[in-house]
Amino acid sequence: MHSMPSVIMKNVSLFAIAILLLSISASLYVKAIQTSNETDEQILIVNNQEYAIDKLFSTFEHITITTDDGQKTGIPLDTLILDTGLEEPATYEYTMKAIDYQQTVKWEHIQTGILSQEQMKVYFPTLAHAFWVHDIIEIEVNKI
């Protein structure tokens, strides 16, 4: 003889509907944010200064670093940041911003990192891949 379904089982459909509504709303929100940020201008903002992306990669020297995902080539992030005129860089933290993702790193990481033109992606050989933000639109600099 089986017992009647519990309260959890009776209400599980309501939870499922709530989850579907929540995730669909979040998907629409993310899509709207991505669409509103789409622009023809290829600009990267570094420490509140605008850099044209094509010019950026033809101006700065390129270096190759070794990561656990192979060799990567790009602009040294420390060179790029110091180009904005920032002084005492070790007293700041740096947020790599994409439209819907961001990670913050310290100067010690910046010194080993690069910005690659492919996917506009930053690579930090000493950090987890979660820090390798792609489609970067801004590098925000804040005092620690």
Partner 1 sequence: MNDKTRLIAAVIVFGSLWGFLEAILGSLLKTVDFPYGAIMTAGFAVPLLLIARRMYAKPGVSSGIGLVAGSLAFFNPWIGCSICSAIAIAAEGLIFEILWLKIDTQEIPQTNLIQRASLGIVSAYAIYIGGYTITQILTPVVFGSFYLENLAYLLPQILARGLPAALLGGVTVLTILSIKPLHIRLPDKQYYPLTAGVSAICWIAVIASWIITA
The CB-of-110 to partner 1 minimum distance in angstroms stands at 12
Q: What letter does residue 5 receive in the DSSP assignment? A: P
Q: Does 111 bind partner 1 (CB under 8 A)?
A: no
Over the Cα atoms of the chain, what is R_g?
Answer: 21
Please pick, from the candidates 19, 43, 52, 90, the single residue that binds partner 1 as defined by CB under 8 A: 19
The CB-of-45 to partner 1 minimum distance in angstroms stands at 16
Distance, CA of 71 to CA of 51 (rounded, Å): 25
Q: Side by side, which strands form the sheet with 102-106?
A: 49-52, 43-46, 138-143, 92-97, 102-106
Please pick, from the candidates 48, 58, 104, 119, the single residue that binds partner 1 as defined by CB under 8 A: 104
Q: Does 134 bind partner 1 (CB under 8 A)?
A: no
